[in-house]
Chain A
Amino acid sequence: MSIPADRKYTSHDEWVLLDGDIATIGITDFAQDALGDLVFIDLPEAGATFAAGDALCEVESVKAVAEVYAPVGGEVVAVNEELDGSEGTVNSDPYGAGWLLKLRVTDAAELDALMDAAAYEAKVSES
């Protein structure tokens, strides 16, 4: 199970990678593996705003649906249009081409509350 050290993680198995004030968000390798083959992702519109902890979107596999929560608050500046019809990219490359959306963060200090890779690895290995 891969857990890159360059980003932060939530207890709901989202990852967030900050570049300036833009946070790229996705689901972890652990999450995609638990869900199985993804077949539909209901991404929000650009311009929508979310507070940390809000439901951002739903990801559905053949058998299950899961909610993705905003790790930090902000405004949607981009969604990954490439996933439309190629949702399996999230399974094959959850930390790269399988990113879900980008937020312009309101308060970068919110990232301090999230887990680093070591803490997330400890959390995943307990479950």
Chain B
Amino acid sequence: MEDRRTPFTSLHEAAGARMVSYAGFSMPIQYSGLQEEHLRVRSAVGIFDVSHMGEIRVSGPKALEAVQHLVTNDAGRLEVGHALYACICNERGGVVDDTIVYRTGASEFMLCVNAANRAKDWAWLTSHNPHPDQATMVDEGDDWAQIAIQGPRAAELVSALGGAHLADLGTYHFALDQVFAGVAGAMVARTGYTGEDGFEVYLPAQLAEPVWTALLDAGAPLGVLPIGLGARDTLRLEARFCLYGHELGDEISPLQAGLNWTIGWKKGDFMGRDALLARRGKEPHRLAGLIMQDRRIPREGMKVMAGGEEVGWITSGTHSPSMERGVAMAYLRPDLLTEGTEVQVDVRGRLAPAQVFKGPFINR
């Protein structure tokens, strides 16, 4: 099947980006070079085409009740203009997907979901909607383009194109009905997936194309670079953000993934709550960060050993451009989670020393 295109795909191709097929879309994996792109986001600002992400609108008199049932976090504490990160769990307490829930109205929400899970999430959410008559769901995934603008100078760039008031948005706050780079109907959120300050700008897809070029032009004095999916992955790994299909999956609970904070235990019943209560404190593996003690590079799927026993596995691993060291996230036996615990990573048959590391993999 032909890959789908975002409003910016032609611009990526014209710029000579290396394109790959990802989640059914033709997406740029790399522009100028992964490390240069990565470090530019840490030092200045980068822009990412994330139009492949899914958006699902939930509205109606029981929209809040429906969202509360379907996600783990407590959407009831959101005011209009605030967002939160949550998991969508199945009956077993496993993760169907992770999502950002935006409260766009008193009885209206937007869920941003992973590109790879758009069809699955839509099927799950609509078939488990507790109030189908009073909480209408609309798949708006094709209606929105999305650009992430991330880095310490992101606020300057966003202010230049959308107004200085946007720099005052708090973390996980957003502004509706903005005019951004001349495009009306934009939603600008102070969210991101890099560990840096930044924004995610939702644009009506039909009007969005000129915004990419406007960002590159206005950002030139700030050092802006377009960033591919390769650096998006290394940035999120350094920031210790989970990625569905790696740290999260249908049989992995938020408890295992260190996402206890996304569970609104006090909000009442929700999908997966009973299973999560039963799993609490009993998970055989929990997510940890590892930093290599030599120059070898951990990769997804490698075994983690301690005392001659297999104690876990790597879910994401790379060379960290910021720390110039191999870093990973791994599921480990829970008694090994203390910072500094020494383990070994089986790198193609040879054991490489690594230590459990608590914080993000970013030198500050």
Contacts and interface: CB of A to CB of B under 8 A. Distances in A.
Nearest to B321: A62
A64 to B, nearest CB: 9
A63 B296 contact: no
Main SS class of interface, A? strand
A40 B234 contact: no
Contacts of B348: 58
Given A60-B319, A62-B234, A62-B319, A40 B33 contact: no
Contacts of B297: 39-40, 60, 65
- Most interface-central of B30, B233, B319 (chain A CB within 10 A): B319
Contacts of A60: 297, 319
B118 interface: no
B303 interface: no
Interface band, chain B: 10 to 19
Given A62-B318, A62-B321, A40 B34 contact: no
A42 B33 CA distance: 22
B210 to A, nearest CB: 30
A58 B297 CA distance: 11
A42 B296 contact: yes
A30 to B, nearest CB: 13
A36 B17 CA distance: 13
Residue among B33, B34, B297 with the most chain A CB within 10 A?
B297
A37 interface: yes
A76 B233 CA distance: 37
B319 A40 contact: yes
Contact of A36 (B230, B233, B296, B326): B230
A63 B230 contact: yes
Interface residues of A, number: 11
Interface string B320-332: 0100101000000
B35 interface: yes
B295 A40 contact: yes
A79 B123 CA distance: 56
A36 B233 CA distance: 15
A36 B34 contact: yes
A61 B29 CA distance: 14
Interface string A1-28: 0000000000000000000000000000
B296 A40 contact: yes
Contact of B30 (A36, A39, A65): A36
Given A36-B230, A37-B34, A63 B295 contact: no
A118 B319 CA distance: 35
Contacts of B299: 65
Given A40-B297, A61-B34, A63-B234, 4 more contacts: A39-B319, A61-B319, A62-B35, A62-B321
23 contacts: A36-B30, A36-B33, A36-B34, A36-B230, A37-B35, A39-B35, A39-B297, A40-B296, A40-B319, A40-B326, A61-B319, A62-B34, A62-B35, A62-B38, A62-B230, A62-B234, A62-B318, A62-B319, A62-B321, A63-B34, A63-B230, A65-B297, A65-B299
Interface of A: 36-37, 39-40, 42, 58, 60-63, 65
